[in-house]
Every structure is written in C-alpha cells, then in structure tokens.
Amino acid sequence: MPVEGPDLYRGDHHPQVGADILALPTAQLQRIALIRISQLTRGEVRGAALEAMARHPDLSDLRKLYFDLSQNEFRVVGGRAPQWRIVYRLRDALPGPDARMLLQVVAVGARAASEVYQLAGTRLERQSIVRAPAPQQSPSRAAAAPRRSLAEAQRLAVERLRHAQSRRR
C-alpha cells in the first residue's frame, strides 16, 4: 500500500550492499533490486520473516524479499521460487527528531546454496546454529567485496542499463 509523503522507514544499509547489487549478473536485476529496496523503504512491500534453520546463522530477526527478472515475482509462482533475495531487518528509531524505524538492508544475493543468508550471517557476525565442517574455499565474498554506497550502486546500475539498451538499438 503506497504511503504519501516521506518514506515509512529510514534506510540504513550495510556498507557492502552496493557491491552486492553490482555483483548481480544483469543490469536489469540490479535495477529491480534497487526498485525493491525503494519499495521496502516506502512501505509498499514487505518481505517474509526468516526462520532459524540448522547449519545456518540465526537470522530469525530478519526478513527476506524475493525478486527475479520479472518485477512481479515476489513469491513462488508455478513451482519456481524467484532466484534472488534481499535480506533486511527493522530496527527501532534512533534518538532524535526522526521517529521512523530503521530498515537496514544487510545483503542482496542468490538464494542458491543459501548464499545470501550465509552472507548476511557473516556481516552480522552470527554463528551457525549447528556447526557443520567448513568446506575449503577461497575468501568469502563478504570479505572480498569492495565497499560501495547504495547511491553509487544505483548510479552504476543505471549506467549499465542505459548502455545495454543502447546496444540493442
């Protein structure tokens, strides 16, 4: 339900969310992620609550919003879940004149192999509920991702989308 006037929530995003968005495989997905984050901040959409799961960090105080190439893909349609997630949390307002709650986007990424949930857990420094042996792998994306602001990610995503559209003409 659209809200008139200022956003329903104050946006407060993890410093690496901009890099997450730019790491999405297409300019269209980047644009859709930015639209979904904006819709969350305005209170137009709301994600589902996350549940505690074995071998995963406890993210039960967070929420997830689905998205995919079709901007209308918020939920499972025809047996296929959207492939991408925005993981966020709502926090109490900070002291001061702005009494709106904070909406903090923690991670944006793939649903596959619980990648986005592991990334969110790493960023929030949360341990897995049940520890499984850690596979040998290269440094995580959470540690290697450059810090980019959401505004910078938005600007670069728009540039990439325009470039892709101009190549089609």
**Domain of residue 63, CATH code:** 3.30.2310.20
- Number of structural domains (the chain) is 1
- Would you say residue 76 has pLDDT above 60? no
Give the pLDDT confidence score for residue 20 in this predicted structure.
97
**CA–CA distance, 44 with 48 (Å, rounded to integer):** 14
Give the pLDDT confidence score for residue 129 in this predicted structure.
66
- Would you say residue 165 has pLDDT above 70? yes
- Residue 2 domain-assigned (yes or no): no
- Residue 135 domain-assigned (yes or no): no
86-99 tens-digit pLDDT: 999 999 988 888 88
- Residue range(s) defining the domain that contains residue 51: 10-128+144-168
Of 133, 99, 104, 103, the closest CA to residue 120 belongs to 104
